[in-house]
A and B are shown apart, each in its own frame.
Chain A
Amino acid sequence: MIPISYWRNRRSYTALMGSRCRACGAEYFPPVRVCRKCKSRDIEPREMPRKGTLITYTKLTEPAEEFGKQTPVYLGLIELSNGVKLVSTLADVSESELNEGAPVSMVIRRWTEEGPTGIIYYGYKFKVDAAYSMS
């Protein structure tokens, strides 16, 4: 990751800033410049809902080197409450809770860092809701 491109996209990474088509109302994450449904270029920024459900997940035991300390990495396919789907790293995982339909919420976590002297990259991850975990 490059610090300047991270800085330009930080609202997407830390506030789930996506986009909405003013013409047909379709919502997107990550943001788009042209609506994939109606091809309109009349697009506005739109913050995505922070809640959704887990559709499925996979477990990476050999992730990229920069994620070494985080191994194993759990990647989840999430459907947000507005229907938008995204792939996200999962946080504080207890594998027995990773069920289809489990309610999840966005949290901010460290993604990675540019070594001990560089920038720390923060961004969204999703975590199974405590109420579901406790039930």
Chain B
Amino acid sequence: MKSINPIGIHGYAAYVPSFRIRTSEIARVWKGGGAGPNESKAVACFDEDVVTMSVEVAREALGMAGGPPIGAIYVGTESKPYAVKSTGSILSDMLGFNRSLGADLEFACKAGTEAMQVVSGLVGSGMIDYGLAIGADTAQGAPGDELEHTAASGAAALVIGRADGNDIAEIKYSTSYISDTPDFWRRQTQHFPSHLGRFTGEPAYFDHTIQSSKRALSDTGTTPKDYRFAIFHQPNPRFPFDVGKRLGFSQEQIMPGAVNNLIGNTYAAGAMMALSCTLDEANPGDRIFMTSFGSGAGSDTFVIEVKDRILKRRLGSVRLKERMKKFMLIDYGIYAKWRGKIRE
């Protein structure tokens, strides 16, 4: 995908709710013992949803960017509070950007990076100067389903504008690869998604991530060694390392963005949250390779180059991985009450 104007990231932020449930607690209730693939997952409080978490990340990202005028707010999510009523419009009002486009996007776990591409397109074509791309979810797994171990809550945002010297990183390249693959879905009016178990691995996650990544490496004429960091969607703690190895990326390149073990899969926020953790550690000149994955299925790949200004803009902010160390544990009863597992 080519743009007329160079595209830059001017601010970034990610949010993880304060509450965690151990997967051993979920397994205790449904299996009598054991644990999920990850240690714990982040759970949104009873009064949190995609709107509240998106406001949180939007304000922080806008603060880092110096409060530029926003021409578009796109929210990628599969857990929007209203089936019909734009989350983007609610946010535009709360943030005071009424002269903007505002809409929601859905593509399972890659809806957030879709928002990045849409806003990049608007900036790249000159239609807007700055836009907000948000990925946010309060993901749900059916009670007792294996997805319940990983389906978590979180949000991440990027302020995207022209790469004009004030940006902290430049999006040098992006591409996508999609196909009709029935690995995971949720029908209208259903509270919980359905999936095809192991089928979510090879033909879905691995095939789409690899196809999109290989195309990006080929188009840019780069190899994994040309990047300091690599990000792959993390539906569980293992998959990003497995797919990275197949593509030739090392554990060290992936580790800075790896958060699944502690907070689970934050769905549409997942890849962007890993980018946030990676930008927390990156230095000017570093290159970041990032491929998201969304069931249904598809992947978006980005090549990002970090710029000098990141050092100044990041000053004083607490790294996401540091902030994640503060949490409160809840048991399955509270989790079930808060997240709508108990229905009248």
Query: B81 touching A130 by the CB < 8 A rule?
Result: no
Smallest beta-carbon distance B16→chain A, Å: 11
Mark A residues whose CB is within 8 Å of B. 10, 14-15, 69-70, 91-92, 94, 107-111, 120, 122, 125, 130-131, 133-134
Q: Which of B47, B81, B90, B93 contacts A91 (CB 8 A)?
A: B47
Nearest CB of chain B from residue A4's CB, rounded to whole Å: 15
Q: How far is the CA of A91 from the CA of B18 in the complex (A)?
A: 10
A125–B56 alpha-carbon span in the complex (Å): 12
> Which of B93, B325, B328 makes the CB contact (< 8 A) with A94?
B328
Interface residues of B in 305-335 (CB under 8 A from A): 318, 323, 325-326, 328
Provide the B13-47 mask, 1 if CB < 8 A to any CB of A, else 0: 00001110000000000000000000000000111
Interface class of chain A by DSSP: mixed
- Beyond A107-B52, A110-B52, whether A70 also contacts B46 by CB under 8 A is yes
> Which single residue of chain A is at the shortest CB-CB distance from B344?
A116
Query: Does the CB pair B47–A14 fall under 8 Å?
Result: no
Number of interface residues of B (CB under 8 A): 25
Q: Check A69/B338 contact, CB under 8 A, given A91-B45, A91-B47.
A: yes
Complex Cα distance A26/B267, Å? 46
A118 CB to nearest B CB, Å: 11
Shortest distance in angstroms between B198's beta carbon and chain A's nearest beta carbon? 35
Task: Give bound CA distance, A94 to B47, whole Å.
Answer: 15
For residue B139, CB closer than 8 A to chain A, the reply is no
Q: How far is the CA of A122 from the CA of B81 in the complex (A)?
A: 11
* Chain B residues in 8 Å Cβ range of A10: 93
In whole angstroms, what is the CA distance A14 to B52 when docked? 10
Q: Which residues of B contact A131 (CB under 8 A)?
A: 318
Chain B hits for A15, CB < 8 A? 94, 96
Contact B49 A92 (CB under 8 A): no
